[in-house]
Chains A and B, each alone.
Chain A
Amino acid sequence: MTTEHIARTVQFKIYRYDPDKDAAPYMQDISVQLEATDRKLLDAIVRLKTKDDSLSFRRSCREGVCGSDAMNINGKNGLACLTDVDSLAQPITLRPLPGLPVIRDLIVDMTQFFKQYHSIKPYVVNNTPPPERERLQSPEEREELNGLYECILCACCSTACPSFWWNPDKFVGPAGLLAAYRFIADTRDEETNERLDNLEDPYRLFRCHTIMNCVDVCPKSLNPTKAIGKIKELMLSRAV
């Protein structure tokens, strides 16, 4: 069904915090007149910024590839650029991703998130001398990576995960674990055992209690819970 796009007014309730000026964060009520061409939430926020240019948020590709404009939209994490503005109940409540330190307004400090990502060595480790041409994979081996490599690191999943909220320094989080499995599943990688050792810790992997918030929010429809299950399966198969 195509929605009739017309000029319309949209009500917002936006988390505002500028540490240089504000003593504490507050929610700002603001409305904006949208043009017929404004379809996605990001279009609306960009329009909003022409009205109040003090509003800060990240955005880049505006088509769900860069992962910059992840935010908490009406209580659920998602990408503003992939969310239809007309599908949202008003006032549209926008907050920064939960659980990470707020730098300003909708911008969060992703340092902890990327620290966890780097801790799983997000690259193929292979110490055998490379062949003359590339290291080949069979179509079946390549198939294993589908549903894993597509992650854009927007942090929607990890910041929707209570285990990550309580232990962001110790629990790798769904995004990091999805990436961990992406390299475990890669036949060209030779460090499977070391990777499993790295995760065999009561915190790093086993803080996941399978509540699947990550699957619920992933804007790329990926399944970190499934990847975490596969990691546990591998640990099981090497332990018994």
Chain B
Amino acid sequence: MVKRLVVGAHYGFGDWLLQRLTAVVMALYTVLLVVRLLMMPSRDVFAWYDVFANGPMRFATFLFFMSLFYHAWVGVRDIFMDYVKPISVRLALHAVVAFLLLGYAGWAAQILWRL
């Protein structure tokens, strides 16, 4: 087979931008969480439960996890792109990470809405 150099997969910019936006979301959430935890009336499991039982906080937490997983997806894929050269191995690793992160997202939702 002729070895052709193929470039022009037009998702570079979108992923780069989303990685930055998700970082902002995570930074804002971290501040929110710290403030919220400092405001806990007592340091026990019930106060902890109350923090996340609140609807907007639950939504913000889920948003944080989704941002984290998307951010991680772009970052980990970047590492594979740099260091894993065989296409088949890279595709397999991409698939493993993608499904793992999707699973984590479902798990995070399950934990949050079970509280």
Which of B10, B11, B14, B82 contacts A207 (CB under 8 A)? Answer: B82
What 1/0 flags go to A198-212 for Cβ under 8 Å of B? Answer: 101111111101000
Asked if residues A204 and B7 are in contact (CB atoms below 8 Å), the reply is: yes
Note all chain B residues with C-beta closer than 8 A to A209.
78
Note all chain B residues with C-beta closer than 8 A to A202.
9, 11-12, 15, 81
Complex formed: what's the CA distance from A28 to B9 in Å? 46
Which of A169, A170, A200 contacts B10 (CB under 8 A)? Answer: A200
Note all chain A residues with C-beta closer than 8 A to B78.
207, 209
A225 within 8 A of B: no
B17 within 8 A of A: yes
B2 within 8 A of A: no
Asked if residues A201 and B8 are in contact (CB atoms below 8 Å), the reply is: yes
Complex formed: what's the CA distance from A88 to B9 in Å? 45
Central interface residue in A201, A204, A207, A236, by most chain B CB within 10 Å: A201
Interface of A is mostly: loop
Asked if residues B13 and A235 are in contact (CB atoms below 8 Å), the reply is: yes
Note all chain A residues with C-beta closer than 8 A to B82.
162-163, 166-167, 207
Note all chain B residues with C-beta closer than 8 A to A166.
82-83
Segment 1-46 of B: residues with Cβ below 8 Å from A: 5, 7-17
Interface residues of B (CB under 8 A from A): 5, 7-17, 78, 81-83
Given contacts A203-B7, A204-B12, 4 further A-B contacts (CB under 8 A): A201-B10, A202-B12, A202-B81, A207-B81
Task: Please list the 3 inter-chain residue pairs (A to B) with the smallest Cβ-Cβ separation, ordered nearest first.
Answer: A206-B12, A202-B12, A166-B82
